[in-house]
């Protein structure tokens, strides 16, 4: 493996990590927190909020980038590592077996490197502080989206058509339902951030409201 091949493989892993972190940070960002940042003067928070309203192009860029990098990474990794492993194994194995096992080891090493360093670690880091990373990565992602505009348009429109065929929404629904609030209250009580009596008050309010609405719909 030459230095150029090693550097190219590292660059591909870093590029894939960028897309993974951009994806998870946008998906995990809390709109309430983003609005707070926007109110505090963070202009990029407004941009992230806008993308969350229409995330199709953003996620299309992520998928195009990750898949293209994965294919290129496999080509580079197989071409650079297989000969190295094959030559080492040829010292103790027949040439045919050494070549086959060398390819398998090359595939395992490259796949493991991509899974660990371009997927698992970036996503865990991005989930720790999603708003922070979403804001930092939104401008570079906008640039990549601009560069890949023709591909993004084609894939986004195709995905929208397929979603409509399956009867699924093409936009994110951010409405907060009573069940969402009750779930948050339950989670807050379990974590100790909300007292049990406060949780009970919230549940009683919604129970009274539900009972009142039932009476209106069923006057008998």
Tell me the pTM: 0.70
Do 18 and 109 reside in the same domain of the chain? yes
Say what the pLDDT of residue 167 is. 81
Q: pLDDT per residue over 97-138, tens digit each?
A: 888 888 888 888 888 989 999 989 999 999 899 999 999 999
Q: Is residue 119 part of a domain?
A: yes
Instruction: Tell me how far apart the alpha carbons of residues 52 and 159 are, in angstroms, rounded to a whole number.
Output: 17
Structure tokens at 7: 């550097």
- Mean pLDDT on 31-51: 90
Q: In terms of residue numbers, what domain contains 207? A: 178-217
Q: Is residue 52 part of a domain?
A: yes
Do 146 and 196 reside in the same domain of the chain? no
Buried residues in 60-88 as b, exposed as e (16+ CB within 10 A): bbbebbbebbbeebbebbeebbbeebbee
Q: Is residue 185 part of a domain?
A: yes
Do 131 and 43 reside in the same domain of the chain? yes
Token pair 């990029």 is at which residue? Answer: 44
In this prediction, residue 15 has a pLDDT band, given cuts at 50, 70 and 90, of: very high
Say what the pLDDT of residue 12 is. 92
Do 85 and 185 reside in the same domain of the chain? no
Say what the pLDDT of residue 181 is. 67
Token pair 């963070």 is at which residue? Answer: 42
Helices (H), the chain: 3-28, 31-39, 43-53, 56-89, 95-115, 121-128, 130-147, 149-165, 178-191, 196-217
Are the C-beta atoms of 58 and 170 separated by less than 8 Å?
A: no
Number of domains in the chain: 2
Do 19 and 128 reside in the same domain of the chain? yes
Are the C-beta atoms of 8 and 76 separated by less than 8 Å?
A: yes
């Amino acid at each position: 493996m030459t230095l150029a091949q090693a550097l190219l493989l590292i660059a591909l892993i870093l590029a894939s990590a960028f897309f993974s972190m951009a994806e998870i940070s946008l998906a995990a960002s809390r709109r309430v927190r983003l609005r707070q940042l926007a109110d505090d003067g963070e202009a990029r928070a407004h941009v992230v909020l806008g993308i969350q309203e229409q995330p199709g192009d953003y996620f299309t860029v992520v998928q195009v980038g990750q898949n293209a990098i994965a294919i290129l990474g496999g080509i580079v990794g197989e071409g650079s590592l297989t000969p190295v492993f094959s030559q080492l194994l040829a010292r103790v194995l027949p040439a045919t077996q050494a070549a086959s096992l060398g390819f398998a080891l090359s595939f395992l090493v490259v796949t493991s490197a991509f899974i660990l360093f371009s997927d698992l670690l970036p996503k865990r880091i991005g989930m720790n502080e999603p708003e922070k990373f979403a804001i930092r990565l939104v401008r570079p992602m906008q640039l990549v989206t601009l560069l890949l505009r023709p591909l993004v348009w084609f894939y986004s429109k195709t995905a929208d058509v397929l979603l409509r065929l399956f009867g699924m929404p093409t936009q994110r629904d951010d409405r907060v339902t009573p069940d969402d609030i009750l779930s948050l209250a339950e989670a807050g009580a379990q974590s100790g951030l909300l007292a049990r009596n406060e949780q009970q008050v919230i549940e009683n309010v919604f129970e009274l409201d539900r009972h009142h609405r039932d009476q209106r719909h069923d006057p008998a």
